[in-house]
Structure 1
Amino acid sequence: MLGHGGFFLIDLMRRTSTLGLLRQLEIIQFESPAAIQQRQKQSQMNYFDALRSSIPLYAGYHSFEQLPVIDKSFANQHREGLMNSNYNGKRVRKKTGGSTGEPFVYFTGALSQSYLWAGILLSWRVTGYRLGEPVAFLAGSSLFSSGFKEMVYYKLMNISLFSAFDLSQARMRGYADAMASGGFRLLYGYASAIYQLAQYILASPKRPRFNLRGVVCTAEMLTPTMREIIETAFGAPCLNQYGCNDGGVSAYECERKQGLHLITTRSYPEVLESGKLISTDLSNQTFFLPRYDTGDLVVMDDNPCPCGRGFPLIREVIGRNDDLVSDQEGNTVHFMFFAYMFREDSRISAFQVLYDERRLVINLHCYKTENEWSSYLKRTREALKFEHIDFLENHSFVLPASGKHRFVMRVDDVDVALAHCGA
């Protein structure tokens, strides 16, 4: 086992400072909220000064509060204007857009890259994970890359990759056996993929035994039902981790499971009345994205966590601002309309809503088939006006290119989308 040595080598190769930053965060997280706010305030002032002096677009603003909220479209249109020509360090090209459908290219530097991995490792450390212990990644392209350099990094971190695509019965059997026999101490990945594997394990006549310290889910919503199933299947605590790297957002759940601790030494978050999360990555002075619309909806918690950590708490990540269903008459509901409708129904393990201009299909994954859904159909028809509203049971979910589970998807043709995923 390389232990700290593997991470030290990665820092040398990438010219980052992940290890040192992780040590700092492990101390800073237990500082008082006032002390952490003071750190953030100083970073915010430094960021604003650099923004005004480096980016002509923002030279005329006299306070951070005056800055307009920007989004991916604005950043795509002003990419050259947001680039810091005074920055002489290494630039790392990033690309997002798998969830929203709008491709977005941006850049970060060594400090942002260090924060990205330090935040992930901090979430793992809550489980008792020790640097260098074997980790299983169950995810897709938005979480891990397959380039040569990345594969070297994963090897040095003792990470094994398991693709979240095509989770057939045979593949899940192989994954479960490999994770049980491989001595893995942590499982990290998409919440929906880990949940699907957990369901398979619990349904297996001979369940493998795992030696995990914990399971950390990311990239998707983790519901209480999903957490319970995952913990039962793997025999380890299941924690949540949330990030939006373009906005500098990194948050992790502690052992109390009462919310996500938001690392505010990296970001300056703002939550609008609508619940929309606006964030500024204070660590990224390579490519400025001040007051950036993350597209996520969150609920903050004004109360401190009893664990003693001083970072502010996100009580709940509700979902994305674009997880909406809209009909031709202009009626719109958020996916939480369906989540709340189904959350107390023990027959339902997961769901997805697909819709096009004329038809809406609610695909329910159920423990038993041939259920009665008339009450849910009535409530849906009261909220939305489609020519056809149908319920399906246990059809394969439609996945975007990233492999993440989307609770709501607008498609050109529902029938074609279902046919392509094997429905």
Structure 2
Amino acid sequence: MMALNGNGLSWLRRAVFEPLYYLRAGSPFLDYWITLEQTQYLPETVLRERQRRRLRDLLRYAWENNAFYRSRFESAGVTPGMLDTDDCIAKIPILTKADIRSHTADMISRGFDRGELLNFKTGGSTGKSLDIYVTEECSELRNSCARRHDLWTGWKSGEPIAAVWGNPYLPHGVKQKLRDWLVSPMIYLDTMCISEEAIVRFADEWKRVRPTLLFGHAHSIYVLAQYVRDLKLSGIRPTGILSTSMMLMPHERRTIESVFGIKVTDRYGCEEVSLIASECEKHEGMHLNIEHLYIEFVRDDGSPAASGEPGAIVVTDLMNRAMPFIRYRVEDVGVPTDRKCSCGRGLPLMESVTGRVADFLVKSDGSRVAGVSLIENTLTKIPGIDQMQLVQEAVDSLVVRVVPGAEFNDATRRELHDYFKELFGGQTKIEVTAVEAILPEASGKYRFSICRI
């Protein structure tokens, strides 16, 4: 019985319960995951050719079956004869969130009924949600890909997971609870109500369930690490840590790794197209998910960004035909690279995500600066600051919201004021305001740089 509380039960989930569950459901999840385990080590040239074929197939499909995209192609001068050329994709207009909100129904391809598709909603900096539609098969293929990257952390399928998340899913009824226990047991720390009491309860539950993967919003895992350190809690010893959903800042990574004694695996994606890139066990950059996506890094003038140069991330989902996303601007900025990872995988790298477009603040001369970089430069160098948030409502106004630490004083306030005054110019009004906490949004995520211009 003792064995079934640990490795033995994890093995049963992996070898018996999970296969039976997906077989009964008729899901392609496990078969596709096994395939992805093999294809990740194919040479990049082979993976790139597969990506090109899938892209061409998608564009032809959209031309023949999607009136919204056919109209966009035609307006850009794209003809059927051009769809097989390598430079065709650059001629297609970039898809924005506003486009999606205005044309959600029109974006559904012929032969699909919205009422029979899976519907996901995603928020954003504007607070307006997007409706995303996919088939159940497409959703399972996405989940299979996520599983492959989960394993890069050192976690093994069948082992329990601890999620640090806002508004977490909780199973209801005996059937759901039994299913979760047999296939994918999880415990949660709700980021909407973090307190010492909640952290202690989470630590107690950890000792009972013994998860091996710690998964959650980057900053939320950082907050957990601070509590574990300050409360001197023992027993929370994950095998892997998976950070996602928001930028993992360097000082947060250092704290998390120091507290838990293992490396953080950082992952990047969005609800609209799922996983975009992820670190592997080598932590030498983020592997791009080119088996599911065609990913571009685009300068302001529309030309491709060079290796090492920041560019707007534009993705084409090669798997979702029910509601295609072709040249979708994610509103994040990333840095491509020509470097190769020593892990031997054929999946190419990007250096990093440098921030959301909405998180870039605007200086008086019209230039932009990454808000997360400003947070990193001040939070780690000026003593007395526990948390900070920058809010810009106008070019000549910046509010610096600070959660004071033990060393916070008038000198801290002046140093912050002078730093931002010099950076943004003498005409910019800088307001440094002390607050009790920087609260998460309704999704449970934290935003530390907000530009409303």
TM-score, with structure 1 as normaliser: 0.87
What is the alpha-carbon root mean square deviation over aligned residues? 2.9
Find out whether 1:369 has 2:377 as its counterpart. Answer: no
Range with greater deviation from structure 2 (326-335 or 19-28):
326-335
Tell me which of 104, 107, 112 is aligned to 1:82: 107
Instruction: State the partner residue of 1:176.
Output: 203
**Match for 1:108: what amino acid?**
V
Q: 1:40 and 1:58 mapped to 2: Cα distance?
A: 20
1:85–1:317 Cα change, 3 Å: same
Q: 1:309 and 1:111 mapped to 2: Cα distance?
A: 26
1:352–1:132 Cα change, 3 Å: same
1:325–1:6 Cα change, 3 Å: farther
Larger Rg: 2
Q: 2:448 and 2:290 mapped to 1: Cα distance?
A: 29
Tell me which of 211, 219, 223 is aligned to 2:245: 219
Instruction: State the partner residue of 1:46.
Output: 57
1:253-283 CA-partner distances (Å, limit 9, x unpaired): 1111121111111001111024110001100
1:122-153 CA-partner distances (Å, limit 9, x unpaired): 22211221111111111124xx5457598776
Uncovered stretches (5+) of structure 1, i.e. residues with no partner:
413-423
Instruction: State the partner residue of 2:312.
Output: 276
Instruction: State the partner residue of 2:388.
Output: 351
Q: Give the conservation status (yes or no) of the 8 Å contact 2:403–2:438.
A: no
1:180-228 CA-partner distances (Å, limit 9, x unpaired): 4431111101111111111111112x43123421111110111222122
**Match for 1:374: what amino acid?**
R
1:241–1:100 Cα change, 3 Å: farther
Uncovered stretches (5+) of structure 2, i.e. residues with no partner:
1-8, 301-310
Q: Secondary structure at the match of 1:360?
A: strand
Q: Secondary structure at the match of 1:278?
A: strand
Instruction: State the partner residue of 1:257.
Output: 283
Q: Secondary structure at the match of 1:112?
A: helix
1:237–1:324 Cα change, 3 Å: closer
Instruction: State the partner residue of 1:420.
Output: none
The 5-angstrom pairing of residues 247-396 of structure 1 reads: 247-274=273-300, 275-326=311-362, 333-342=369-378, 344-345=380-381, 347=383, 348=385, 350-356=387-393, 360-364=399-403, 366=405, 368-370=407-409, 372-382=412-422, 383=424, 385-392=427-434, 395-396=436-437
1:88–1:398 Cα change, 3 Å: closer
Q: Could you tell me the percent identity over the aligned residues?
A: 24
Instruction: State the partner residue of 2:34.
Output: 23
1:180–1:411 Cα change, 3 Å: farther
Q: 2:357 and 2:376 mapped to 1: Cα distance?
A: 17
The 5-angstrom pairing of residues 90-109 of structure 1 reads: 91-109=117-135
Q: Give the conservation status (yes or no) of the 8 Å contact 1:98–1:401.
A: no
Q: 1:41 and 1:152 mapped to 2: Cα distance?
A: 43
Instruction: State the partner residue of 1:416.
Output: none
Deviation of the 1:178 alpha carbon: 2.2
TM-score, with structure 2 as normaliser: 0.81
Deviation of the 1:109 alpha carbon: 1.6
Tell me which of 254, 259, 266 is aligned to 1:233: 259
Q: 1:367 and 1:300 mapped to 2: Cα distance?
A: 40
1:337–1:199 Cα change, 3 Å: closer
Q: Secondary structure at the match of 2:189?
A: strand
**Match for 2:188: what amino acid?**
L
Instruction: State the partner residue of 1:402.
Output: 443
Q: 1:293 and 1:153 mapped to 2: Cα distance?
A: 37
**Match for 2:230: what amino acid?**
A
Q: Give the conservation status (yes or no) of the 8 Å contact 1:180–1:208.
A: no
Q: 1:25 and 1:19 mapped to 2: Cα distance?
A: 10
The 5-angstrom pairing of residues 181-200 of structure 1 reads: 181-200=208-227
Instruction: State the partner residue of 1:122.
Output: 148
Deviation of the 1:9 alpha carbon: 5.3
Instruction: State the partner residue of 1:202.
Output: 229
Range with greater deviation from structure 2 (342-351 or 49-58):
342-351
1:88–1:46 Cα change, 3 Å: farther
1:98–1:160 Cα change, 3 Å: farther
| Structure with more helix by fraction | 2
Paired residues, number: 408
**Match for 1:200: what amino acid?**
Y
**Match for 1:197: what amino acid?**
L
Deviation of the 1:350 alpha carbon: 4.1
Q: 2:270 and 2:146 mapped to 1: Cα distance?
A: 12
1:306–1:235 Cα change, 3 Å: same
Range with greater deviation from structure 2 (185-194 or 156-165):
156-165
